[in-house]
Chain A
Amino acid sequence: MKFASLSNGSFKRLRETPPVDLRPRKKSSPTPSDSESDNESNVNNKWRNSLDQVFKRRNTSNNLGRKRRWKNKGPFVRTAQNPPSPVNVTPGPTSVKNGPRWEDARIDSVIQLATISPFNEEKVTRHMADLTLVTPSSPTPPIALPPTVKPHPIFQMPEIVENILRFVSAYAEIPREKPYARRKPLSLEHAKLIYKDEKKAMEVWNNRSQIGAHNSNGDGNEMMGSVMYNCMMVNRLWFHVTLELLLEKFHFKDLTKFRRFLNVKNQMNTNKKLIKPKMMVLHKFHKLQQSELDELSRFLSCESLKWLEFYICPDVVPPVAWINQFNNLEKLVLPGNKKIDDKFLIQVSGHVNNLKVLDLRACDKVTDSGIIAMAIRCPQLQACNLGRHRNSSNITSLAVVALARNTDVETLGMAGCKITDAGLWELAQLRGSRIKRLSLNNCDLLTNHSIPTLLALNYFPNLAVLELRHVDQITEVKQLVKFKLWKRSQNIPVLIEGCERITRLMYDEENRIRKSHSLLAFEDMSTWVNTESEL
């Protein structure tokens, strides 16, 4: 019943061809749902209403013209369906003509899609799993349907197509730093200490140039990127839905392509529509000019932006016009930027209430005051990276304390900053139990009075990664090893990245501890085997 009303409500609007009666044939035996048929018109209305909302939403939020274009052309969808067979229950052309023979479960899932779609995208995406879609890579090549054949109706419903493509786009490649499990070893000797296995160490050492290398050419996911473009070729409906999704995730890693895009956009003066991406990533544009960004901002609005990343684009800052639209921004990633300074951050801080991730690695101009301004205004901030090689005295314990006091920080990158033992103590006391990652490489002011002591007192019980390279004043590693062993005994391994010196110290200490532990174990076992007691 429900399905019938769905088809009445929706397909008429979408297709010019006379609607097919998709009502399942009346069952002779009464089923519980049959009782609903008495007030079918009621149900009908309810369903229609929710579908009306779907269309209203589309019509108001998007341009009307687009929809008209789909209509003119009429549906012609190349789907990779096989002709109907007992196994494949998806109705092919014949089954539509003769009335559908869908499995009840299948019908249910379509109905659910229709009701939920305006409100809950995630749920819809999950429901798509019920439909057996044939992927292009399937061993049997898809049979080309003659142009008169109607595709499965769901591939003509914009809402459903959008969800399908959204799913595809979730896998599309976005240029980003390759995540690495471990940092590169600093020497072969270091690798041996870390991996405790000559062969493995050799292998890692010889391949070191590949570990943590920045992924600028994309790999593996490259194919998924082109899948989106393939989707654009299906038909007009698919083209427009895909395009919109592509513009939602705005990312470039090739400056020439980016410039071409700017040019094309500039020439299309008729199209006044603003792009409102949710994500914008520019990857390693060393030569990008500020004027080009300003040009971009003429047809781009940041009001929906959640993620802004200029990865090593040293000479540009987000234009002022954008900053005022940062209210939805959750992730601000600007590593390696020469222009970003405190003034910029102070300006930004007034608009980024929802910020969760702030990455200002190697932004040499930034100092404590910029960070303090951000910390005060970003209560939800969880990850903050201020690591640097130059201008180390720009960032001190003041920044750490401000972050600890005002934000939800869990991941803190302070490599190469002038933070002190006192700063870390304050962090430990304010937020110690929430800290998960801590990078203190090259923090040359730190001594045994902070990290080793703090770990011994278990101030950072949830620490999972601790980077501690080249912190020359730390000589006491017993507590680090004890902490590591304690975490391991709970099956929550902790990674402590040390330089060769610290790794060596820890290695020796671990052996010492192990030896004394196994002596103890032998003592304990000897005692036990010689105690007289029957159960």
Chain B
Amino acid sequence: MSIQSQTVAEFAITYSRFLDAEGHPTQDLPESLKNADTLRKLYEYMVLNRTFDAKAVALQRTGKMGTYPSSAGQEAIGVGVGAAMQEGDVSVPYYRDHGAHLIRGGSIEEIYLLWGGDERGNDYATLKQDFPVAVPIASQSLHAVGVAKAIQYRKQSRAVVTFIGDGGTSEGDFYEAINLAGVWKLPVLFVINNNFWAISVPLSEQTICKTLAQKGIAAGVSGEQVDGNDVLAVTYATEQALKRIREGHGPHIIEALTYRMCDHTTADDAKRYQPPEEVESYKKEDPILRLRNYLVSQNLWDEEQEKTLYARVKQTVEQAVHAYESIPDQPPTAIFDYLYATLPHDLIEQRDILLANLGAHHE
């Protein structure tokens, strides 16, 4: 017996890139990416990202900072997305998007402070509406939906961008967030950093989905895949998505394919589980190398500029380290001072005990 049925819905996920691994264009670049200054800026921020990041690891290894999650090899995502965002947009990041923070005008010192255990790092000097880095996996997806609801409620033409890892997309929070964003048509972009690993869990053990972008289909949210090591692909896809989102067309998902070229954090040893040949194969996909090859091929970059850039970036990072290391500690009472608008009775008592102890210690 043959049963009659019709296809009632069809779905597809597209993949795009502009530069291949060697930096050769795979297609014409859109107008917005033909501007030499724009291209150089993307390059410079990726170099800054990698340099400040390596320094953060060194600070942790010399006992000057706490656990730190590097974003080595994944700089094109943070930098590309951040470059495409407008000032009025809101970033709701997790811990591998520091590139976005930097290119949006945030400071390195803030990031060092945060991972040094100093909450003042979350009090951004400029990006007042951007969120602190989320460490609890996928919690940020829901926060982003909340922010997007507020923006929609105020009828503003702004977008929220939130980031999440491949592992994070297995969390209920993520599914709930994209579902609600779809139902309420919220102005939010979900950027997935698919670096193929969630600590030691490979993507193949995380999901049998062919893509992570397709997770949006079940929520009615559009999605696409881009080459996450091609900063141009990331930037362009984000620009287009944010434009639609700001115009009220609802949420979108960008899955950026990359690879974690580092330990999960400074408390991890990826050599114990990342196959060396896999790591090796991604070395030639490096996002920084790729853009430099393209810039050089277009005569937009030379050795001299490269040297100047690295010297400048080194100095910027050193200044940030200096600022981080010389910021005076907060008084011990600070642990009470940012929790409540009006400190509850019991905490006032505890604060007084602490003050009394400080006094006694001072004599």
Do A and B come from the same complex?
A: no
Chain A residues with CB under 8 Å of chain B are none
